[in-house]
Amino acid sequence: MITWTYPPAPRPGVGALVIHDGAVLLVRRGRPPGRGLWALPGGKVMLGETLRQAAEREVKEETGILIEAGEPFYVFDFIERDDESRVVYHYVIVDIQCEYREGEPRPGDDADDARWVTESELSGLAVSQPTLNLLELVRFGRM
């Protein structure tokens, strides 16, 4: 049985960077870790699933948007500890550059909200630090 909290080892995850018409696709997380924060859509990589397949599945589940996943381009660790310094979550997240294909964002699965966010709207949202770091690097496609 897989345990997602207090794992025996890091778990692989994906994030999907989807930029369309000058806005990035973000979701507000509905569950821990990161509950209430805006971030790239994404989640766990399931056994037998490629990173690209995981990104495409997660975006569809969380937002209803269809994408074509491209190449990995950004990797980071997400580690959350409890009050006793035990590791509650440890994900190695691989962000994938993705192409928008079709659909309008609607929240699904573990997302409380999903929408296109412009660069000027970011300051008004509680955005996860890894997402802010990534968006600073890509500058909404102006890299």
Task: Note the pLDDT tens digit of each residue in 18-76.
Answer: 999 999 999 999 988 889 999 999 999 999 999 999 999 999 999 999 999 999 999 99
Per-residue pLDDT tens digits for 71-88: 999 999 999 999 999 999
User: pTM of the prediction?
Assistant: 0.91
Are 38 and 28 in contact by the 8 Å Cβ rule? The answer is: yes
- 29/127 Cα distance (integer angstroms): 10
Going from N- to C-terminal start, the domains of the chain cover: 11-141
Are 9 and 16 in contact by the 8 Å Cβ rule? The answer is: no
Per-residue pLDDT tens digits for 94-128: 999 999 999 999 999 889 999 999 999 998 999 98
Residue of 52, 6, 34 lying closest to 127 (CA atoms) = 34
- 61/44 Cα distance (integer angstroms): 12
pLDDT at 143: 43
pLDDT at 140: 57
- pLDDT band at residue 1 using 50, 70 and 90 as cut-offs: low
Residue of higher predicted confidence among 131 and 14? 14
Which class does domain 11-141 fall in? alpha beta
- Taking residues 12-16, report their average pLDDT: 97
Are 42 and 97 in contact by the 8 Å Cβ rule? The answer is: no
How many beta carbons lie within 10 A of that of residue 131, not counting itself?
22
